[in-house]
């Protein structure tokens, strides 16, 4: 657990030193946020990437989706999935996992098909 806190501390140091995190840093930060007890940290980062226009990056969106799923926020994960312009097999797998772990497992696939993200097919 301490390593995740270190990652977030390094992020703060980056900001203090006027370094802008890139998409790789954000993916790592969202992974760190899925392992800490305070979901607000991840939500604040999500707002930050939206403001910077990075939310459309598939890797960032998938990491946000996974973070919300691991933190137990099915509604937020579904919202990210629905708003995604494009998605891939990672997006679908993450959303299936969220539905199976936090929803009704028998309804996982129908729920996904009904709420498919903008750039995804249901085939």
Domains of the chain, by residue range, sit at 2-114
**Helix ranges (DSSP H) in 34-87:** 39-51, 58-70, 74-83
Q: With 90 as the cut, is the pLDDT of residue 13 above it?
A: yes
User: pTM to 2 decimals?
Assistant: 0.84
Note the pLDDT tens digit of each residue in 27-77. Answer: 999 999 998 888 899 999 999 999 999 999 999 999 999 999 999 888 899
- C-alpha torsion sign, points 60, 37, 69, 3: positive
CA distance 18 to 21: 10
C-alpha to C-alpha distance for 104 and 49, rounded to whole angstroms = 31
Q: Are the C-beta atoms of residues 120 and 90 closer than 8 Å to each other?
A: no
Sole residue written with tokens 């993916």: 27
């Amino acid at each position: 657990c301490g390593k995740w806190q270190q990652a977030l501390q390094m992020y703060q140091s980056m900001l203090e030193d006027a370094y802008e995190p890139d998409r790789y840093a954000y993916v790592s930060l969202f992974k760190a946020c899925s392992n800490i007890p305070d979901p607000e940290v991840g939500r604040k980062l999500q707002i930050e990437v939206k403001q910077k226009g990075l939310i459309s990056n598939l890797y960032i969106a998938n990491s946000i989706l996974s973070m919300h799923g691991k933190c137990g926020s099915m509604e937020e994960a579904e919202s990210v999935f629905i708003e995604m312009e494009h998605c891939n097999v990672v997006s679908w797998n993450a959303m299936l996992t969220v539905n199976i772990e936090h929803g009704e497992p028998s309804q996982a696939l129908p729920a996904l098909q009904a709420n498919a993200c903008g750039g995804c097919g249901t085939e």
